[in-house]
Structure 1
Amino acid sequence: MANTFFQFKQFTVHQEHCAMKVCTDACIQGAFTAQYLRGATGVHTILDIGAGTGLLSLMLAQAHPAAITAIELDAGAALQSRENFAASPWADRLSLLEADVRALQPTALYDFVITNPPFYESALKSGHAQKDQAMHATNLDYAALLQAIAAHLKPGGSFSVLLPYQEFLLFRELAERAGFHACRLLQVKQSVRHGYFRTVGIFSRELQTTVEEELDIRDAHNNYTAAFTALLQPYYLKL
């Protein structure tokens, strides 16, 4: 059975009410995006689409002083996020909306958007409704996600997305058609022996040269690599 909580250095993520638990690739997205934001200017507000446990919002809150609004459709996950936010050191600038982002009217635009969306648009589903909603694009496909991002993002803003490597190729094509261009990419491998299995992409409406990096989680001896350790050291207890 999965742990009911995940302890980080500065916060705890309880996850018993969430179909999707804390995972390494989401932690990589949070840490990589936090690094990007530390070098960005003019980011005062962040929107987290599909908050789940609230992990990404909490990771960004640890690293950046922006006010963060998270949106979550599932009632159990929304409750979990709200509780995790309230127990964190940054409760005063973390808020949760239980809503469908497609139906949410953009009363305010955000400087930055982060999302770890449902991965698979056409793969076989598990038969577990809550997990299928979290893992598969049953409610929010890639085109609808891009529409939601465009509706809530300021004209000069940017966004971060995590997807499996192959699915990311499709998403990038759709993003280009929607006027978003990849400015930073992180290609992730489970180890030096594996091929790419996840991509973290940061997009903006500004056409620019794409900076692409590679990250191996484990080395040939199955130990965390120096690059992975450096990236996650601010968060993981044992690094």
Structure 2
Amino acid sequence: MFHFKQFSVDQSGCAMKINTDGVLLGAITQADDPKTILDIGTGTGVIALMLAQKFANAKIDAVEIDEPAAKTAGRNFQNSIFYNRLNIHFSSIRDFLDEHTENKYDLIISNPPFYINSLESPKEKKSLAKHSEVNFFDELAKDVSFYLADKGFCWLVLPLDTAALVTTLMAKNDMHLQREISIHSYPHSAAHRVVLCFGFKDVAPEMSKLTIYKAVGIYSEEYQRLLQPYFLAF
């Protein structure tokens, strides 16, 4: 059980536990008072819960293809003060969207599987959560373009090489990069992740960086400030 300031997350039954990628994405994501949010691959539901805390007027559809994880996320939602604004859907994103073709979302978010063409994990569930092929992101880009509201945003967290691919695929679907935040472990280390924001407006993207640690075992002030609304330690 992982306790946050306004909710708790039970991780049992989830192949992918709460990690820095997910909480960073949830904390960094910005939008203009979104009313509808889609969380693709919700896992434990932690990002959906963070967004429910951040955006008080939003109703959130959280989709998860792994049944035990979906059940865990559903329990986490029901046990939170945001339960009436959170909906868990045990489904592939393709099946869910095919059944809800009328939906438009002000915000789409995902911490997706991103190890393209890497070796498969010996554990089936972790393989499902962490491995993907290019066609997954090709379909994701098409879906975002179709289901995102005209003034909406899509936020993703990805490794650098996958981010370049996804940016290209998004551009083919008239989605433009709005913001790019490179994530560094230490001030002088190379970026190991990137948070991307896409939208329909063709603009020069805003580029920035975020450093997690200022020294070994010591979180940076910017990381603490970002996670302060959520983490008990901050």
TM-score range, shorter chain: over 0.9
Shift of 1:139: 10
Instruction: Please say if 1:13 is aligned against 2:15.
Output: no
Shift of 1:220: 3.1
Counterparts of 1:174 and 1:194 in 2: how far apart (Å)?
A: 28
Match of 1:52 in 2: 43
Pick aligned residue for 1:27 from 3, 23, 29: 23
Q: Gaps (5+ residues) in structure 2?
A: none
Match of 1:116 in 2: 111
Pick aligned residue for 2:195 from 184, 197, 200: 200
Tell me the alpha carbon deviations over residues 157-206 of structure 1, each in whole angstroms, 9 at most, x when there is no partner. 21111111221111111111111111111110111232100111110011
Instruction: Please say if 1:61 is aligned against 2:56.
Output: no
Match of 1:99 in 2: 91
Match of 1:236 in 2: 231
**Conservation of the 8 A alpha-carbon contact between 1:118 and 1:140:** no
Instruction: Report which stretch shifted further, 65-74 or 149-158.
Output: 149-158
Q: Gaps (5+ residues) in structure 1?
A: none
Counterparts of 2:54 and 2:35 in 1: how far apart (Å)?
A: 13
Amino acid corresponding to residue 69 of structure 1 in structure 2: D
**TM-score (ref. length: structure 1):** 0.92
Q: CA distance change for structure 1 residues 230 and 181 in 2, over 3 Å: closer, same or farther?
A: same
Shift of 1:221: 4.7
Q: CA distance change for structure 1 residues 139 and 174 in 2, over 3 Å: closer, same or farther?
A: closer
Shift of 1:140: 6.5
**Aligned-pair RMSD on alpha carbons?**
1.5
Instruction: Please say if 1:75 is aligned against 2:67.
Output: yes
**TM-score (ref. length: structure 2):** 0.94
| Other structure's SS at 1:68 match | strand
| Other structure's SS at 1:191 match | coil
Match of 1:168 in 2: 163
